[in-house]
Amino acid sequence: MSMMEEIKGYIAETTFTDPTQIKEETMLFEEGIFDSMGLLNLIAFLEEQFGVKTEDTDLMEENFQNLKAIEAYVTRKKG
């Protein structure tokens, strides 16, 4: 399973969203799939699942706005 599929699965499961409704470019906050509490839970998942450490300076919408951005963020953090 790809990183993006794992992240998509987590988001779908925790937000009770049909996975077919979540595309690479789906704007997670603008479309109401995620809120600030959901973001905190996502960060905990990313840290545990992929071994990345999220710093305060990483908490920008650009890093978490959609699946593509989240995957790019994790890839950068993993170095």
How many whole angstroms separate alpha carbon 79 and alpha carbon 68?
17
How many whole angstroms separate alpha carbon 32 and alpha carbon 36?
11
The confidence band for 65, taking pLDDT boundaries of 50, 70 and 90, is very high
The answer to whether residue 71 scores a pLDDT higher than 90 is yes
* Helix/strand/coil for 16: coil
Span 35-64, mean pLDDT? 96
DSSP letter at 32 equals T
Which CATH number is 3-78's, of 3.40.718.10, 1.10.1200.10, 1.10.3660.10, 1.10.3720.10?
1.10.1200.10
**For the chain, domain boundaries:** 3-78
The answer to whether residue 79 scores a pLDDT higher than 90 is no
